[in-house]
Amino acid sequence: MKKAYNEIWVENIGNQSIIENWHEQKLLSEEQFDAAQKEFPVGFHRSNIFVKIGLFIFTNIVTSASIGFISIFLAALVSESTAAFSIISLIYGGVSFYFLEFFIKKNNLYRSGADNALLYAMIGSLIAFFILLPNINLPVWAYYFIILIILLPALIRYADPLVAIGVYLTWIALWFIIVTKFPIGKLILPFVIMIVSAASYFFIQFWKKTENSSYYTDCQDIIKILTLATFYLGGNYYVVREGNAMLNDLSNSIQIAFTPLFYFFTAAIPVFYIVRGLQKHDRKFLIVGMLALAFSIFTYRHYFSILPLEWASTIGGAILVLLSILAIRALKTPKYRLTYEPHRKNKFQNLEAFIVNQAIQQPNQPDKMQFGEGNFGGGGTGSGY
């Protein structure tokens, strides 16, 4: 399927980010920096995060008003048949698709807020079209399968990160619905989720190797993070035990089968993620591993609370601060290809500066211009005021 955005420009966005990082590290002179910027041009309409949010909200308002306008003419049909809702959704989806393609080609939009809103409106309308079709009672898993079929082409063509999240969560939910249909499904569900997550991870790794451009890099990274998260949650003792109680309509959770195995998963998977992240210098593994470790500690405290929460939080915080200080001091000099120094500029630092500037109250400045006791004669042309 043909990609909606200019693939070379998308590639150059990443190249320009690397160039800016090198320039900030004084690896490129001003002349080299300007020449490199011209070597990798980007023709997309690019704006800051506030403009993107504004365009997203404005486009949603316009599209909502347009669907209301269309509904006025079809009000009679809507009142007589539920199929009219489905027809309106299909028309709305088609109109959203037309304007999405039109604005991308005419205005060179790329994740500008307006194209995101039109994309989500199109996907939502197509999903509503199938759900609202009358006299069609499909099983629940079939609707998830339809949603997956709608999302996959949108992901391939537009490479939107939020669509990538929708694809993976729908994929996991589809397996959840299918497995729990069988009597043994509730017993093997955690293992199925872990197997599907692992298979999805290896598929993403294979996709990365076969895809030469960076068009899908954001989507691949997001799905990779989700696979790591669902693999851990599938083996977490708390999730499995409380999920088992919910699926079996139990008021209180009870001990589950394979308890030692899930204890092992809960403790071992976060450690594996952290070690793997440090070995391969992969921040995704490292960050997910640290979050998983925190959730594993919560899991242990939920069933085996030793200290009061206040004491546990204080001691845990002190240990983390101490470890952070030791790590910072140790890595001021790079070791094992690890360093405390930031690798590249924080792309959100301008947003952070704006938020901090708004949050800090500026002291009231004294008014230097003192009025009164002046001369009014001469229409204000006197020396006093």
CA 351 and chain centroid, separation? 18
Strands (E) across 288-336 are located at none
The whole-number pLDDT of residue 81 equals 62
145-189, pLDDT tens digit by residue?
999 999 999 999 999 999 999 999 999 999 999 999 888 888 899
CA–CA gap between residue 383 and residue 107 (Å, rounded): 57
Tell me what the mean pLDDT of segment 342-355 comes to: 53
> Over 80: is that where the pLDDT of 104 sits?
yes
Please give the residue that has the higher pLDDT: either 272 or 24. Answer: 272
The overall average pLDDT reported for the chain is: 82
Q: Give residue 19's pLDDT band: very low, low, confident or very high (50, 70, 90).
A: confident
For the chain, give every domain's residue range.
317-343
Q: What CA dihedral angle connects 149, 151, 156 and 161, to 10 degrees?
A: -160
259-294, pLDDT tens digit by residue?
899 999 999 999 999 999 888 888 899 999 999 998
pTM of the model: 0.82
286-327, pLDDT tens digit by residue?
999 999 998 998 888 888 877 676 777 787 778 878 877 877
CA–CA gap between residue 160 and residue 157 (Å, rounded): 9
> Over 70: is that where the pLDDT of 363 sits?
no
**Cα–Cα separations (whole angstroms), residue 237 to 87, 100, 121, 196:** 46, 45, 38, 18
Please give the residue that has the higher pLDDT: either 19 or 375. Answer: 19
Contact 262, 240 (CB under 8 A): yes
The whole-number pLDDT of residue 344 equals 59
Q: Single out the residue of 199, 179, 197 nearest to residue 189, CA to CA.
A: 179
Burial class for 240, CB neighbours closer than 10 Å (0-12, 13-18, 19+) = buried
Contact 78, 85 (CB under 8 A): yes
The whole-number pLDDT of residue 131 equals 85
Would the CA dihedral through 372, 377, 379, 381 be positive or negative?
Answer: negative
Q: Give residue 34's pLDDT band: very low, low, confident or very high (50, 70, 90).
A: confident
CA–CA gap between residue 384 and residue 369 (Å, rounded): 12
Tell me what the mean pLDDT of segment 67-72 comes to: 73
Q: Give residue 124's pLDDT band: very low, low, confident or very high (50, 70, 90).
A: very high
**Cα–Cα separations (whole angstroms), residue 119 to 43, 65, 133, 187, 339:** 21, 17, 22, 39, 41
